[in-house]
Amino acid sequence: MIEEVGTSPEGDLIINVGPQHPSTHGVLHLVITLNGETVKNCEPHLGYIHRSIEKMCESLSYRQFIYVTSRMDYLSSHINNQGCSLTVEKALQIEVPERGKVIRVLMAELTRMASHLLWWGALGMDVGAFTPFFHAFREREVINDIMEETCGARLTMNYIVPGGVMYDIHPNFQQKVKDFITLFKSKIDEYDTLVTGNIIFQQRMKGVGYISGEDALSYGCTGPVLRASGVKCDIRKIAPYDGYEKVQFEEIIETGCDSYARYLVRMKELKQSLSIIEQLLDNIPEGEFQAKTKAVLKLPKGEFYSRVETARGEFGVYIISEGGLTPYRIKFRSPGFSNLSALHHMTKGSKLGDLVATMGTLDLVIPDIDR
Amino acid sequence: MFLVDYIKTVYNGVTSLLKGMRMTGYYFTHHKEIITQQYPDVKQVLPERFRGEVVMTHDEKNEHRCTGCTACELACPNATIKIVTKFDITPDGKKKKALDTFVYHLELCTMCNLCIVACPTDAIKMAQSFEHSVYDRSLLTKVLNKPGSKLMEGVE
Ligand code: SF4
Ligand code: SF4
């Protein structure tokens, strides 16, 4: 660990970025060794928003612990809930009805879009463009309204529960999502005009934050970060869950390995998510939305693991059960933690301004890293 | 070669900036596309499923549906609900468990909806109110059953 103030033995300046700094997205604290404007080392310090969620889960029942996971990666709360529910279902061998599965996938993809939209807006701010933020939030607001109507909340939904989903979809749901699709299709070109094609933006992104596929793998990166380095890793493709095997979509792979490639992966994923939603929206099967489950869930003795693809990468839930009402131990594998650990590799030798831009393309959510 | 690249970059730079500015100009002249909500002057109607706070439904005769079974208390992950029960004497002289006070700590509630799902008699529901700020924390502890209310007939 390096000292937090002053100069290093070699005479380099050590500065702290964060935990209260507008460019570090929440309470991330980076200790940076600078030689002039060149970053020589950057070390994240965590612990500012630690809530000991894993420990907390040990005292909650298998129905109760799921709502807490909405508060980890709050931009993918549906998908976190889904991962936990899948693990419980796997242990109890509950078969989710088709309707429940389709609703889950629809919600997960809407969440992914909302998350990518927020990331896009925030990335614009990181590189010095303020307008994209408002454009992204305008569309994200529509998704939030849809969520609010069906799930009852905008961010921490707790809608996906073991056995299916908590309620059936709202009667307006399909129409609202259709309206959103029309709106979004008319706006997505604006994004490219405003940001993707902008020459300043491209020069801030291209060739910056390079990480090869091999290195990314060895750091444990997942999600868009790894796919931008040319490695296939989409859990929805390699280990499909909840009926992802039945929908047609492409796994986006870019080989640029830089910030621009990560940007492109997410922009293209937006379109893929939209196409998944379009395929499923008119084909929601009739029937039950939730399987019949016991009021009190008791997992058999053993160890259970399942994983899902959140907007940031692979999210894993590992439960050890002693056969009681509460888990003996729960471990979450969060995508942000591993992605952040690759930051110093990506930014070694780059300029301080590029560090901020690179961090933006990692799409960090601090409560997910520091749970 | 360098010169050609340089001129190309400058050209691309100027065109991409102009494209961006054109869009900004579009929104500058099209006020209908701007979405601003005039809260608190204009309050939005929230959807009926919105989770604002837990309330207990009472009918016009001041009767509720809560039997005091404590299922909601057990379902709640953060001890938001405390049910105090009492014993009523039924007309035929038997003792029967009934609800005395339903204490709800709004400051602890995470609006997870688990209590509503757990309730076997649909006695409680989510209200759409969301402006909960008060000057004193103790005001957030509420008693949900109205004074003098009793159990609706026929609810077991
Ligand atoms: S909504 Fe959740 S936290 Fe609030 S009282 Fe009900 S169960 Fe408890
Ligand atoms: S509100 Fe419902 S679950 Fe709670 S004690 Fe009353 S009847 Fe039981």
Domain count along chain B: 2
Pick the CATH number of A2-369 from 1.10.645.10, 1.20.1250.20, 3.40.640.10, 3.90.550.10: 1.10.645.10
Same domain, B69 and B143: yes
Q: Whose CA is nearest to atom 4 of ligand 2?
A: B72
- Mean of the per-residue pLDDT values for chain A? 86
β-strand partners of A38: A35, A351
ipTM of the complex: 0.80
pLDDT digits (tens, 9 = 90+) for A35-44: 888 888 888 8
C-alpha span between B145 and B148 (Å, rounded): 8
- B100 and B61 share a domain? yes
Same domain, B29 and B78: no
CATH number at residue B85: 3.30.70.3270
Atom of ligand 1 nearest to the CA of B51: 1
- The span from the first CA to the last CA of chain A, in angstroms, equals 21
Are B75 and A64 a contacting pair at CB < 8 A?
yes
Distances from the Cα of A164 to the Cα of A88, A236, A316, A344, angstroms: 11, 18, 19, 41
| Domain coverage including residue B23 | 1-35
Residue of A nearest to B71 (CA): A295
**Co-location of B77 and B6 in the same domain:** no
Whether residue B156 is contained in a domain is answered as no
- Predicted TM-score (pTM) of this structure: 0.88
**Using an 8 Å Cβ cutoff, are B111 and B126 in contact?**
yes
CA pair distance A54, A177, nearest whole angstrom: 35
Residues B78 and B136 in one domain: yes
Which residues in chain B have their CB less than 8 angstroms from residue A180's CB?
none
CB–CB of A256/A228 below 8 Å? yes
Residue B53 backbone phi and psi in degrees, to 5? -160, 160
Shared domain check, B83 and B26: no
* Cα-to-centroid distance, B96 and ligand 1 (Å): 27
Tens of pLDDT, residues A123-177: 888 888 788 888 888 888 889 989 888 888 888 888 888 888 888 888 888 888 8
- B26 and B65 within one domain: no
Does residue A211 register a pLDDT over 80?
yes
B68 lines ligand 2 (CB under 6 A): yes
Is B106 domain-assigned? yes
Based on the fold, state whether residues B58 and B31 are members of the same structural domain. no
Chain B hits for A133, CB-CB cut-off 8 Å, are none
| Mean pLDDT score, A325-353 | 87
Please tell me whether residues B84 and B114 are part of one structural domain.
Answer: yes
Q: How far is the CA of B144 from the centre of ligand 2 (A)?
A: 11
B92 with B146, same domain: the answer is yes
Is a pLDDT exceeding 50 seen at residue A1? Answer: no
Residue ranges per structural domain of chain A: 2-369
User: Nearest Cα to B98, choosing from B117, B127, B75, B121?
Assistant: B121
Residue contact B35–A158, C-beta within 8 A: no
Q: Which residues of A touch B117 (CB under 8 A)?
A: 166
Beta bridge partners of A29: A45
On whether both B24 and B78 belong to a single domain, the answer is no
Look at residue B40 and tell me if it is in a domain: no
Q: Give residues (CB < 6 A) around ligand 1.
A: B 54, 75-76, 78, 80-81, 109-115
Task: Specify which residues A45 forms β-bridges with.
Answer: A29
Lowest model confidence (mean pLDDT) among A13-27, A96-110, A289-303, A353-367: A13-27
Q: Position of tokens 């309206």? A: A179
User: What is the reported pLDDT for A189?
Assistant: 83
